[in-house]
Structure 1
Amino acid sequence: MLDIAHITLRGALMYRLLLGAAIAATATSAFAADAVAPIVMEPELAQPHISGYVEAYLGGLYLTSGGEHESATTAGGAGRVNFPIDPRWNIQADAFVDSLWVQSQNLDGYGGAVHAYWRDPSSYALGGFTSVTGYGGDVVSGENLYSFAVGPEAQAYFGNVTVYGQIYYGQLRATGQSEHFDNWGGRGVVRYFAQDNLRFDAELGYSRISLGGESLNTVTGALQAMYRFSGTPLSVFGRYQLDHVSSPGSSGSLNVHKFVIGLRGSFGSDTLLDEDRNGATMDTYRPNFILPLL
């Protein structure tokens, strides 16, 4: 009987130990889950980073005025880099060069721009810019001509559409001379993304150069298509731009047609849409004939 009682007692003790261990294990698991839960957080948003692109183009110009025609070859390029200061404030720096050759003479425009703006990638961007352009080549040899422009700019985002507006005031000057030409203008651009890597642009602009009572008006229209190869930084694009130049009181006018194809290499962005909303999205007006008074 003693042995049976002893075995029974041992069995009861073992049962209680197992039951206690199960309760302890359950409590430990619950405690561990509570301890780990605060550590499991929502994925962090991507931090702002430097991005931009470099592009180059080659094409031709076709000029018509009073029944006369002239053609020219053109080439150029640009580089733009966006520097985020924080998740919303950005500084973008641009550098560009444009050249054309006509009747064995050439004209060059080269310069840069700085944009400062606040951007919400889901809504809009608002800021301002300043640009400086120098001119060289056979046509303006020894003149030391340059121009500058400054003004506000803004973008609004509607799904796969970006609307971009920009107005500016500037001057065309010669180094060491006080006399100058005033330049007022504005432009509007609509960018439509048929796909994340397929972008279409339509642009309309106006510019007025004046000195005293004389002025020269330019109306600009442009269409552009760009495609970025998926998984690569490379894009190809084609652009057509028409500048219609006229002067009040004059019966003559000048039409400058520009056709170009180009190649762009981007960094810090995954798609053209990502580049537009999070990268180097600003630009500046560049006339077909490079020099605003040509």
Structure 2
Amino acid sequence: MRNQLFATAAVAAFFALTGAAAQAQTVGSVGAGYSRAEVDTGLGDGDLDVFSADGSVAFDAGSLRGAVDGSVANFDGDGGDATNWSVTGHLNTGFNGGLAGGFVGVTTNDEVTVWGVGGEAQFNVAPQTTLYGQIGYGQSDDLADADLWAGRAELRYFISDNFKVQGSAGYTNIDTNFGDLDTWNIGADAEYQFASTPWSVTAGYEHGEIDDANLESDTFKVGVRYSFGGTLRDRDQAGASLGSVNNLFGGALGQSVIAAFGQ
């Protein structure tokens, strides 16, 4: 019940912030997607169908820039289903060709809550290429009093202002009462926005492993997205594509594990 109340409050806060930000000049997007996760536990295989919705918005915050993103994802597998909620807030400052700042966020379901905080930065390494990096610390009493230390990087290349491809890689060390776990993930994504419209289509793939638990997954993703405030490149430069807490701590595999505890 506590986590359900928190999830409701977090989502209400997300929409309140985005509604307030909409009164100023903003850049962002909302989207919906479907993922198919194939999970190998070492003792057998399992599949998860994941239906999700998410949104992000970047806005002026005085002399700084703010951003907030939120998501909800329902994981449906053989063992039942669970819904993960996530909200992340960002505050940063811009410099020539990039930005740097910090974030705080949470991922939660009926049984598990994971808090996260950290720093992030992005820089235009070439006229059409952005390098983004994120490091953070997370904590969850519900996962055997786990401390999580994580890092993630994304390299985004814009074939045009409305056609983006990117590669990503992440690593998380999970220190629990029962020992340490190391998890990593790599992925590739693409997004294409149709000419003279705010609508785009997305597709992606991610592979993740938890070495010490003999657990790995392959996740295939497709989706649609509505952008406001400019092109995909504008969204990137405004800081409306920064990484969320649920992506940082284990990516798609990490969210699947949290959902499994929520079942």
Aligned mates of 1:118, 1:214 — CA distance in 2: 38
Which structure has the bigger radius of gyration?
1
Post-superposition CA distance 1:171-222 (Å, at most 9, x none): 0124xx9x72101100010000011111001000001111146012111101
Shift of 1:240: 0.5
Name the counterpart of 1:273.
233
Shift of 1:279: 5.0
1:197 to 152, 162, 168: 162
Name the counterpart of 1:146.
113
Shift of 1:292: 4.8
Q: Tell me the TM-score normalised to structure 1 length.
A: 0.73
Where do residues 20-169 of structure 1 align in structure 2 (5 Å cutoff)? Answer: 49-66=25-42, 68-86=44-62, 89-103=64-78, 105-120=80-95, 123-136=97-110, 143=111, 145-157=112-124, 158-169=126-137
Q: Tell me the TM-score normalised to structure 2 length.
A: 0.82
1:225 aligned onto 2:193: no
Retained in 1: the 8 A contact 2:145–2:177?
Answer: no
How many positions carry a matched residue from both structures? Answer: 230
1:185 to 121, 144, 150: 150
Deviates more, 1:156-165 or 1:278-287: 278-287
Retained in 1: the 8 A contact 2:68–2:90?
Answer: yes
Q: Specify the SS of the correspondent of 1:277.
A: helix
Name the counterpart of 1:263.
224
Name the counterpart of 2:181.
216
Post-superposition CA distance 1:59-117 (Å, at most 9, x none): 2110123262211211112111111135x621101111122111150122102010000
Taking only aligned residues, the RMSD between alpha carbons, in angstroms, comes to 2.0
Q: Specify the SS of the correspondent of 2:241.
A: coil
Aligned mates of 2:256, 2:37 — CA distance in 1: 14
Post-superposition CA distance 1:13-68 (Å, at most 9, x none): xxxxxxxxxxxxxxxxxxxxxxxxxxxxxxxxxxx821211011012110123262
| Deviating 4+ runs (over 3 angstroms) | 291-294
Unaligned runs of 5+ in 1: 1-47, 137-142
Q: Specify the SS of the correspondent of 1:288.
A: helix
Relative to structure 1, the CA distance from residue 279 to residue 167 in structure 2 (aligned partners, 3 Å threshold; closer, same or farther) is closer
Aligned mates of 1:101, 1:109 — CA distance in 2: 11
Unaligned runs of 5+ in 2: 1-23
Name the counterpart of 1:23.
none
Retained in 2: the 8 A contact 1:109–1:291?
Answer: no
Relative to structure 1, the CA distance from residue 213 to residue 104 in structure 2 (aligned partners, 3 Å threshold; closer, same or farther) is closer
